[in-house]
Structure 1
């Protein structure tokens, strides 16, 4: 348990639990590196201290908030209980008393998703703000139920997001080889780094893990049980000065991702080996060792059962389209706007007459 989670656990046990007085859930959830378990001493330099969410029935919110506010001490384990909140730009305590339903709506910008479009327009960081963290008490059970509902994407969305990520890989895998031919050294390194990022994100998706905002991508990737297959190749890809070493490392990383795909569908394995790049026009082939990842796109799309989603070009869910900033994820209306766009496109796909 990280320092932030340990602080919150003690704060609930030693202070807040006795103040609530009604059936409730209590958890460290929402925004913050401590929710993801990636906090360290540097994390304490801004908006840091003991904090919790307490979830009660709708009729208990006001009175519970009053009891908690009146009963909190000035400090806990030498940390001020009241400290700066960037959300409303003031100093206050950070025990939020609310209902599960209101909190989910605030964190996601919508109720619990009920359609494929809802899922496609939801930033994965928002989903982590609900499903990550630590639950210290839940005698009502409603917090556990909603976290279970949001634990990961429905299968159709999962396969379509995988297809979209493979599509990004397919567009990126041959670029370092092509740029090397024209001696664009900086361009090669930028595209190699981009390919490494795409493969790290793919690894998280393959293991049904939400991808956090960019600061913590490496930390989240490092927690995967499959990371060791990619760690070495990606390290060589990003650090070696020798172009031949990096080419071999890129091929090894691509093949590791292919093997993980085959573990997901052992009944329909694809050749996980790299080969010369197939341009796809007039039978052209180029001497860059790549996976030719388009075949993995098609394999993932074949697993999608919803006709509208199966017909939708695999351009990606919101995170794959944007790699969004905090402003896009938490402040802007882009998620809801994209959700509406996805809904219209999915409906169009479902109404389209099937090709004979």
Structure 2
């Protein structure tokens, strides 16, 4: 039985030992895009479907067909015991997974943007983090022109103002949900209270990704990716206790403790004026009503983030969040519908409206 080789390592060896010798043109070679191996999460289980050495070869548009032909019939049937050819259920054909294309074509197909144009605010907000993660993860084996590396660096993280607005949105989402933890329990809805605590754990984890400037992956790898964050050893056990707590008070205490950690982490980033984390009874905001469930002063973190945004239009946007904060952004939505494009137009309409608002 062949031993498991991580996909990036396998593909790198395949490029260096086989593919590189077949390409005589300036090119870039990489393993990016879909696949658990691109994210570094592949395991022996991953080998049960379409598993083997694969990569993208990026060449000039005038050389795409010639390079395709140069490797088409010259690849081995197997490499280190793994198949090189794969059967496609969609097309009914058997072929290798060495994709020959241009950087521009690949970016246009995968990110649905023009690689030569600086992304606008609405483009950033409508790009799923899974797509951004797939493009900026993986490995580049060679890059003669440096073009692929430059574009990957451009998309390595959000522009500062977009980042601040997304964090403002995340604090807003947390602030909307936190008081529901106590209210559902008070109403005798234990199941609802548990669901709210789960939602808060998810929102806190997302905020941790944002604070560490790391794109989060889709659900299968969300927890795995979170475990690799710098803050995970500190806050992870607290989140686990929230999920396992048998009573509402324990859940509330855990949420308070976790939120105070990310609040202090927010201040440590130095992106906004410092905000002292403070947990106090929930103020409804109508008729001076105050309820006994403790909540963090999330609104002050929202305000601090917005104050730090330099772009006036972005600052005026209602903090509903980018696509991954606004929707479930699963595989069907981001890969098989036009919703990301529609959201881009929606965000554009919002930015246009915000630009007309008085100061």
Settle same-fold status: TM greater than 0.5. Answer: yes
Q: CA deviation at 1:229?
A: 2.4
Give the aligned partner of residue 258 of structure 2. 253
Is 1:50 aligned to residue 53 of structure 2? yes
Q: CA deviation at 1:105?
A: 0.6
Specify which of 61, 64, 71 is matched with residue 61 of structure 1: 64
Separation in structure 2 between the aligned mates of residue 267 and residue 60 of structure 1, nearest angstrom:
49
Is 1:137 aligned to residue 142 of structure 2? yes
Against the structure 1 CA distance between its residues 316 and 87, is the aligned structure 2 distance closer, same or farther, given a 3 Å change threshold? farther
Against the structure 1 CA distance between its residues 55 and 217, is the aligned structure 2 distance closer, same or farther, given a 3 Å change threshold? same
Tell me if structure 2 keeps the 8 A contact 1:2–1:34. Answer: no
Separation in structure 2 between the aligned mates of residue 233 and residue 132 of structure 1, nearest angstrom:
29
Is 1:21 aligned to residue 24 of structure 2? yes
Identify the range of structure 1 (71-80 vs 268-277) with the bigger mean alpha-carbon deviation: 268-277
Separation in structure 2 between the aligned mates of residue 143 and residue 109 of structure 1, nearest angstrom:
16
Give the aligned partner of residue 311 of structure 2. 306
Separation in structure 2 between the aligned mates of residue 53 and residue 267 of structure 1, nearest angstrom:
41
Give the aligned partner of residue 271 of structure 1. 276
Q: CA deviation at 1:47?
A: 2.1
Secondary structure at the aligned position of 1:71 is classed as coil
Identify the range of structure 1 (106-115 vs 69-78) with the bigger mean alpha-carbon deviation: 106-115
Q: CA RMSD in A?
A: 1.7
Separation in structure 2 between the aligned mates of residue 216 and residue 32 of structure 1, nearest angstrom:
11
Q: CA deviation at 1:240?
A: 2.4
Give deviations 1:239-260, integer Å, cap 9, x for gaps: 1224332221111111111111
Tell me if structure 1 keeps the 8 A contact 2:272–2:304. Answer: no
Give deviations 1:3-28, integer Å, cap 9, x for gaps: 11111111111111111111111111
Secondary structure at the aligned position of 1:170 is classed as helix
Any residues of structure 2 matched to 1:93-104 within 5 Å, and which?
Answer: 93-104=96-107
Give the aligned partner of residue 189 of structure 2. 184
Tell me if structure 1 keeps the 8 A contact 2:51–2:83. Answer: no
Aligned pairs, number: 354
**Structure 1 unaligned residues grouped into runs of 5+:** none
Is 1:324 aligned to residue 329 of structure 2? yes
Specify which of 318, 334, 338 is matched with residue 333 of structure 1: 338
Give deviations 1:19-52, integer Å, cap 9, x for gaps: 1111111111001111111111221112221110
Tell me if structure 2 keeps the 8 A contact 1:276–1:285. Answer: yes
Report the TM-score, using the length of structure 2 for normalisation: 0.94
Give the aligned partner of residue 163 of structure 1. 168
Separation in structure 1 between the aligned mates of residue 78 and residue 277 of structure 2, nearest angstrom:
57
Against the structure 1 CA distance between its residues 284 and 2, is the aligned structure 2 distance closer, same or farther, given a 3 Å change threshold? farther
Any residues of structure 2 matched to 1:61-210 within 5 Å, and which?
Answer: 61-85=64-88, 90-112=93-115, 113-210=118-215
Any residues of structure 2 matched to 1:233-244 within 5 Å, and which?
Answer: 233-244=238-249
**Structure 2 unaligned residues grouped into runs of 5+:** none
Tell me if structure 2 keeps the 8 A contact 1:170–1:294. Answer: yes
Separation in structure 2 between the aligned mates of residue 146 and residue 161 of structure 1, nearest angstrom:
22
Q: CA deviation at 1:338?
A: 0.8
Tell me if structure 2 keeps the 8 A contact 1:2–1:38. Answer: no
Against the structure 1 CA distance between its residues 117 and 212, is the aligned structure 2 distance closer, same or farther, given a 3 Å change threshold? same
Against the structure 1 CA distance between its residues 316 and 266, is the aligned structure 2 distance closer, same or farther, given a 3 Å change threshold? closer
Tell me if structure 2 keeps the 8 A contact 1:308–1:345. Answer: no
Separation in structure 1 between the aligned mates of residue 5 and residue 206 of structure 2, nearest angstrom:
24
